[in-house]
Amino acid sequence: MPLKIALAQINPTVGDIDANVRKIIAFSCQAKHQLGADLVLFPELSVTGYPAEDLLLRQDFVIQARQATVGLASRVPHDLDVVVGFPELDEAGNLYNAAVVLRHGQVLVCYRKRALPNYGVFDEQRYFSPGGQTCIFDLQGVRIGLAICEDVWKPDTVADNKTDGAELLLVLNASPFHAGKIHQREAVVASQGRTLALALVYVNQVGGQDELVFDGASFAVNHHGEVVYRAEEFQEELGVVEYAGGQLQKSHCAPCYRAISSEYKALVLGIRDYVKKNGFQGVLLGLSGGVDSALVLALAADALGNERVTAVLMPSRYTLEMSIEDAISEANALGVKYCVIPIEPAVAAFSAMLEPVFAGADRDVTEENIQARCRGTVLMALSNKQGSLLLTTGNKSEMSVGYATLYGDMAGGLAPIKDVPKLLVYKLARYRNGVFPVIPERVLTRAPSAELAPDQRDEDTLPPYEQLDPILELYVEQDRSAAEIIAAGFKAEQVLKAVRLVDSSEYKRRQSPPGIKITSKAHGRDRRYPITSGYQGDKLGHALDADTKQSTAAE
């Protein structure tokens, strides 16, 4: 008889132990009764969801999670092995990132994660002590090992399982998405399988959690390192693989994922889960006629359905007629309701109120920011009155250089494209138009403008995005210095300007809403810079004067 192993790619809610347990029971029953599985494998820390952050420091939380995990044993089919992850508190007060095998109404074995990631978005050493040994158990004569996420990236840890007799390794994961990550994961795991002649079954969490999106994309590789099963990405799924004759058998394989569609789906799921898990009925956003808000509108409508999205047009004297036309046609193309609230009365009121104190002062970015903040106030008023979530429409290029107004266009509860560089915004917009056209071509071809001053263009203030985006990728994502970036062939003036703007706008980013991480390094918990910093890079920066922190051109 082949051994049937089910892969339960579930979408838990962080902290909602009851709901997660109900989901685990439902998937377990389905695995047994519909798929005839002998074992079902759930993601890392499936009982609590991942990452639970400082909830893990609360004793009541970890006690409740343990009780729920032990209690699960009697609530799932007894003739099914159920492998779930939970935080395990030992009697000495140490906490482990653990997994148990439940069998016949009891806990059969418990494994403690050995490799605890503490880089990037991960803080596992803040919470957990490392485990020190393998955990091999027997099911119908097959020797099975357990590993949790980071463990499988460590050749030694995987090899220990082979040494200790495992022929099959089950891996529980909560591995967040970023571009290229899915292929990287398959490559690493396949390499371990091939090198050690070991079969591996890899189940990943799916779903959005604040800044992170988990893509699922679970898979299995055989002793030769061949992918024999691949789940769909960005959705819950219960799959099954068979292990027979010492081999993992070829099963269903979803086609390889396309980078651009993975990124689009990541953003859609990130929005949908943030809205759903935080109990909002719908969202609203300011629609300017520019490409950023056009993309966010399409993402929101795709995530929630058009009836749960409201667009708000807030023209000023600097808004071109073309922008209003394009915004309206975007809303109409998606069937999204919109309203128009011109901001001139509020702008005029502030001008009059400030006139006595500003008397004689030249017009500068202050007046631009007032417009943006009038829009922010209108949007937040609608959000408060309707209980809708305000989506912020700024992209990663803007957030990196601080080309945005704090409390203005940065206002909102979620910033869906905060980790999407401007050039990728265009690509995603074209990808979406390829499915069904919703964004007018003109929006994709005209020069970007904040429309806060006459004839304004982003390029008046910033390097062209074709230059800026690769510079930012090297500086923000790859931690390269200005000197290295210049040596790579970029213009010194543009590099120094970009680097200076990134450094001096950390205070703005610190107050920005959470975004959805889709690159290898996102602003937020992924990239943790001090606001107060005297670092001038490799001294090249001295060529330009440092602005004070709150008067950067873009603010």
| Contacting a copy of itself within 462-481 (CB under 8 A) | 479, 481
212-215 vs 206-209, strand pairing mode = antiparallel
User: What's the token pair of residue 102?
Assistant: 């439940």
Q: x/- contact string, 13-52, with a copy of itself (CB under 8 A)?
A: xxxxxxx-----------------------------x-xx
Measured in whole angstroms, the distance separating CA 301 from the mean position of its chain's CA atoms is: 18
Annotated active-site residue 226? The verdict is no
Q: Identify residue 31 by its one-letter amino acid code.
A: A
Q: Is 279 in the site for a copy of itself (CB under 8 A)?
A: yes
Annotated active-site residue 339? The verdict is no
# residues near a copy of itself by CB under 8 A? 103
Q: Is 451 in the site for a copy of itself (CB under 8 A)?
A: no
Q: x/- contact string, 307-346, with a copy of itself (CB under 8 A)?
A: --------------------------------x-xxx-xx
Which element (helix H / strand E) includes 26?
helix 17-33
- Contact indicator for 552, 509 with CB cutoff of 8 Å: no
- Contact indicator for 12, 20 with CB cutoff of 8 Å: yes
Mapping DSSP to helix (H, G, I), strand (E, B) and coil, where does residue 25 land? helix
Q: Is 512 in the site for a copy of itself (CB under 8 A)?
A: yes
**To the nearest whole angstrom, how small is the minimum distance from the Cβ of residue 108 to a copy of itself?**
28
Q: Is 353 in the site for a copy of itself (CB under 8 A)?
A: yes
- Contact indicator for 174, 51 with CB cutoff of 8 Å: yes
Q: x/- contact string, 150-189, with a copy of itself (CB under 8 A)?
A: ----------------------------------------
Annotated catalytic residue within 4, 23, 32, 149: 149
Site for a copy of itself in 115-134 (CB under 8 A): 118-119, 123, 125-126
Annotated active-site residue 149? The verdict is yes
**To the nearest whole angstrom, how small is the minimum distance from the Cβ of residue 161 to a copy of itself?**
25
Residues 6+ apart with CB under 8 A from 51: 14, 121, 122, 123, 174, 209, 212
Annotated catalytic residue within 4, 32, 113, 265: 113
Q: Is 382 in the site for a copy of itself (CB under 8 A)?
A: yes
User: What's the token pair of residue 500?
Assistant: 């200076």
Mapping DSSP to helix (H, G, I), strand (E, B) and coil, where does residue 43 land? coil
**To the nearest whole angstrom, how small is the minimum distance from the Cβ of residue 193 to a copy of itself?**
28
Q: Is 93 in the site for a copy of itself (CB under 8 A)?
A: no
Q: Is 509 in the site for a copy of itself (CB under 8 A)?
A: no
Give strand ranges (E) for 341-463.
389-390
Q: Is 349 in the site for a copy of itself (CB under 8 A)?
A: yes
- Contact indicator for 318, 451 with CB cutoff of 8 Å: yes
Q: Is 532 in the site for a copy of itself (CB under 8 A)?
A: yes
Residue count of the chain, please give it. 555
Annotated catalytic residue within 44, 211, 473, 555: 44
Looking at beta carbons only, is 75 or 430 nearer to a copy of itself?
75
- Contact indicator for 247, 3 with CB cutoff of 8 Å: no
Q: Is 413 in the site for a copy of itself (CB under 8 A)?
A: yes
**Termini Cα distance of the chain:** 68
The closest of 478, 487, 483, 461 to 519, measured between CA atoms, is 478
Residue numbers annotated as active site: 44, 113, 149
